[in-house]
A = this chain, B = another copy of it.
Amino acid sequence: MTTLLQKADRQLRSQGGRMTSQRRIILEALDCLNCHPTAEEVYDTVKLRDQSINLSTVYRTLRWLEQEGLISARRFAEDGRQDRFDPMLPSEHYHFLCTECKEVIEFDHPAIESICSSFEQNSRAAVQSVSFVLYGLCPNCQSRRKN
């Protein structure tokens, strides 16, 4: 399993880009920050290692990774209006967002694809991408609420 840092390095090499210390720190943060962080969350993590790094550098790096197809930006409702960044997995997947703690759970379901094709047939529209997001309470927040 190749890390984001490795993928980005290869990408940079092939286009005359430069691997800066800031980029390395951001990429390493993304690699160990498991889930679906906001830019602020990445920024907070990265600042622990380099106090002088700037939020706009974080954004520029994230947007570059997005352009290169190495991560994708997602915007969930019921989660303010900030973007969350998702390491691009090899397979399509969908999300559950806990409205309380903002935890994201990924899942997949075979029926989703067939819903798309049945919609395509009925509407004659061409589907290019799918966003399926469930909102609710994760197991933890449910039990926390009962108390």
| Residues of A in contact with B (beta carbons under 8 Å apart) | 74-75, 77-78, 81, 96, 98-99, 105, 107, 109, 111-112, 114-116, 118-119, 122-139, 142
Contact = CB atoms under 8 A, between A and B. Distances in A.
A137 B127 CA distance: 7
Contacts of A124: 139, 142
B107 A122 contact: yes
B128 A137 contact: yes
Copies of this protein, total = 2
A127 B139 CA distance: 11
B136 A125 contact: yes
A142 B123 CA distance: 12
Contacts of A139: 123-125
Nearest to A111: B111
A131 B123 contact: no
